[in-house]
Amino acid sequence: MEKRNPNMTFVSGAMDRTFSLRRKEIVEQEPHVNLVKNRWPALFLEHQVNCEFQRITMVYLKRTFLDAVERHTPKLLQMFRRRRAYFGEEMQTLLDSLDKQTSDISMHRRTVALRGLPLFLRDHGAEKILRTCLNTDPEEGYTKDVKMAIMTVVEDDVGASASLPHVEDHAIILEEIVVMHNICDLPNAFALFFGLLYALNFQYPKELKYTCEVIQKVFLGLGDDCSARVQSFKNKLLQ
């Protein structure tokens, strides 16, 4: 039988007891992320992001989201391929990269499915949220003026293939601060980013408006009243 980490159990209990106070502060005072991080540092631990999301919505974030991504990836890729001519060079490059991947193909397919989703939904400006930097870039350079982002950190290796750079890390930036890093892959980073939006009472970024609506209403099953664009997408995905 797996033993519980006593420290994690203590933290979870403390976070459960202070949930109402924390939500009141965050919703009413709208503090800067740096203040929240100093006052509630556990809120930025992966386990507690999941717990906080469950406290708010009664849905277990990570398991539900990752299961949905796994389930929908084959159909998403099929939809992308069928209509790739409508979505420009970026979609074609994403799909071409599938043929070049030789390891961890299942994870790469899920990553392409998530990266292609904003393109398919025509979320203009998604590149402002889904960013990439080199592992040699200074932090102050890639966080400056960034309100929110999922950052993919790639190895600075001039000898590597430009189309398949080695991904070293994923991080989440909020209000110019790296609030989480050492995230294993893009699907997990997406889930944690979405969870933090809820935990911190942030509005969805306009650059990922429809993508976030799909995550909320299609992947996580939170709400049925979809916008016309998302309802059309949902019908295609589930048919």
Residues 147-194 have pLDDT tens digits of 999 999 999 875 555 556 789 999 999 999 999 999 999 999 999 999
CB atoms under 10 Å from CB of 20, counted, come to 10
Percentage of residues of the chain with pLDDT beyond 90: 81
* Locus of tokens 């899920």: 110
Q: For residues 156 and 3, which has the higher predicted lDDT (pLDDT)? A: 156
Residue 106 has a pLDDT of: 92
Domain count for the chain, please give it. 1
90 belongs to a structural domain: no
CA atoms within 13 A on the CB side of 155: 11
In a domain, 14, yes or no: yes
What are the backbone dihedrals phi and psi of residue 120, each rounded to the nearest 5 degrees, phi first?
-65, -40
Tell whether 237 is covered by a domain: no
Residue-level pLDDT at 158:
58
pLDDT at 61 over 90: yes
pLDDT-derived band at 144 (thresholds 50, 70, 90) equals very high
Q: Measure the CA–CA gap between 25 and 8, rounded to whole angstroms.
A: 23
Report whether pLDDT(4) > 80. Answer: no
pLDDT attached to residue 1: 42
Considering 10-19, 104-113, 193-202, the range whose residues carry the highest mean pLDDT is 193-202
Domain hosting residue 201, numbered range: 6-69+123-227
Q: Is 161 within the bounds of a domain?
A: yes
For residue 47, being part of any structural domain is answered with yes
